[in-house]
Structure 1
Amino acid sequence: MSAILDSLPTLAKEPGVTINGKRTRVPARVALGQVTPNNLGTLKKLNWVLTTPIQVLFPVNYSDKFYSNLLEHNLEPYCKLIYYQDLPVGNLVSRLEPLTTETESLSEAKPSTPSTTTTTTVPTRPHVQLYIMTLGILSPYRRQGLATKLLHSVLQAAERSHEPIPPKPTFPSQTDPHSNQPPSSKKSKTSASSAPPAKSDKDQEEEEEAAKKLKKKQENQLREWQLQAKSEIVDSVYVHVWKGNPEAKAFWEKHGFEMSGEIKDYYRKIEPRDAWVLSRKITPKPE
């Protein structure tokens, strides 16, 4: 047990500065970060449940597959760690799910934007729902708005998923720096004599390097567009809340979530074993 406790972040010192011998409080440094292979172990420690009455965050254990699935590219906007004074103190992780029959019918009822052309370079994007699996802050850092900051980040990302994808980028054809076409035999001697001088080796290398950088930049832009074109549109967000935690239920309701159901015996190792289901619709921001 002590090894697990030692592996968790230590309590950060209260941020402040000393002016004329007097300690003055200053705002803490708070930042959000993506879940990556390098900090997946940190996320596991934050979610770890001790076998003693001391609980870190959640009353359940999660498998290795649970964590590895979080590294999918399309989940980057919906899985976050939060840092307080550079220490990881909480997280929010989600997954994307197909729409249920109810949410799918709502999606189909939405008016579609009429197309002005017969063809488009932007493929049809799937509509999904977002399931928030965990949202937690270590107890010494609670009641400072950190959970709200995490939730707002994810909800804003869900709203942005409704933004239209720009057309596929196109680039002008590039001249091959290695091509040195000889002057045409039909050219007069006068035009041949006025041809520009041959490039030096240094100029040739610089031109080739510039062409490589431009090509890489264009490839990155195209790759980014392809990822955007495949991204899902989030129509709704839902979460399970342990029935023994009415304070958590109030938190979600404060942020626009509404009761949409109850699941009996959702939890196996804690009492009560039931869970509330709270959900919120996602609509695009008005232009």
Structure 2
Amino acid sequence: MSRPSPTRVSFASVTHNNLGTVRKLNSVLFPIKYSEKFYNDIVLPEVEDFCQLVYYNDIPIGTMCCRMETQGEETKLYLMTLAVLAPYRSRGIGARSLQQLVDSAAAYTPRKITSIYLHVQVSNDDAKRFYERHGFKEVGLYTNYYKKITPHDAWILQREIEPAAKPADSK
């Protein structure tokens, strides 16, 4: 009996060269149109580890995009978008994407990232459960967060980030 070939999930930083693919995916995945500022910001060098195209067997099927927010000594990642096309859901790809993001945040060395946070529309119970299964906790409610879609309110979910373990000295 032959085994099915393993599915390859891979990630690539968002660049000017693949920005058109991100735009197309976002137009299908999200109920809002993102601004030019959003697209200009996701190709900045400091977020290349946190703004990624998600591939399934070399086919682009999702995106995740973050921005860094620093106040004083604290730096957080704000997860602006994370989505996978409907035919590819329930295959662990979203979980792999989120783990990739958490691992990248933990390993980031220019500054310590303390947490990742995001907004989830209050009507999106599936998304809330997904994030909670992956270590996110509800930390607040933002009323009237969404201006152009209903319901307007959003849960604020957050996950603390522990820095990646440093390899022990081998003497």
TM-score, normalising length: structure 1: 0.55
Contact 2:112 2:163 in 1 (8 A): no
Partner of 1:241: 120
Q: Which runs of 4+ in 1 moved over 6 A?
A: none
Partner of 1:72: 44
Counterparts of 2:8 and 2:68, CA distance in 1: 30
- Aligned mate of 1:283, from 157, 162, 170: 162
Measured after TM superposition, the shift of residue 24 of structure 1 is 6.2
SS at match of 1:247: helix
Partner of 2:106: 159
Measured after TM superposition, the shift of residue 286 of structure 1 is 4.1
Measured after TM superposition, the shift of residue 155 of structure 1 is 0.5
Partner of 1:271: 150
Q: 1:58-98: CA deviations, max 9, x gaps? A: 12110111111111111011111111121100010000012
Structure with bigger strand share is: 2
Measured after TM superposition, the shift of residue 29 of structure 1 is 2.5
Tell me whether 1:82 sits opposite 2:82 in the alignment. Answer: no
Counterparts of 2:160 and 2:10, CA distance in 1: 27
For structure 1, the 5+ residue unaligned runs are 1-18, 49-55, 105-125, 164-230
Partner of 2:169: none
Percentage identity across paired residues of the two chains = 42
Counterparts of 1:80 and 1:145, CA distance in 2: 17
For structure 2, the 5+ residue unaligned runs are 167-171
Contact 2:146 2:154 in 1 (8 A): yes
Pairing 1:23-34 to 2, within 5 Å after superposition: 25-34=4-13
Partner of 1:139: 86
Pairing 1:125-136 to 2, within 5 Å after superposition: 127-136=74-83
Q: 1:83-135: CA deviations, max 9, x gaps? A: 11211000100000123xxxx6xxxxxxxxxxxxxxxxxxxxx5311000000
Partner of 1:253: 132
Partner of 1:217: none
Counterparts of 2:74 and 2:142, CA distance in 1: 25
Counterparts of 2:30 and 2:141, CA distance in 1: 19
Counterparts of 1:96 and 1:88, CA distance in 2: 24
How many positions carry a matched residue from both structures?
166
Counterparts of 2:154 and 2:133, CA distance in 1: 18
Pairing 1:95-174 to 2, within 5 Å after superposition: 95-99=67-71, 127-161=74-108
AA in 2 matched with 1:77: D
Structure with bigger helix share is: 1
Counterparts of 1:80 and 1:57, CA distance in 2: 15
SS at match of 2:81: strand
SS at match of 2:42: helix
SS at match of 2:29: coil
- Aligned mate of 1:45, from 24, 40, 46: 24
Counterparts of 2:164 and 2:62, CA distance in 1: 28
Counterparts of 1:33 and 1:83, CA distance in 2: 8
Counterparts of 2:146 and 2:75, CA distance in 1: 25
Pairing 1:163-202 to 2, within 5 Å after superposition: none
SS at match of 1:78: coil
Q: CA RMSD in A?
A: 1.7
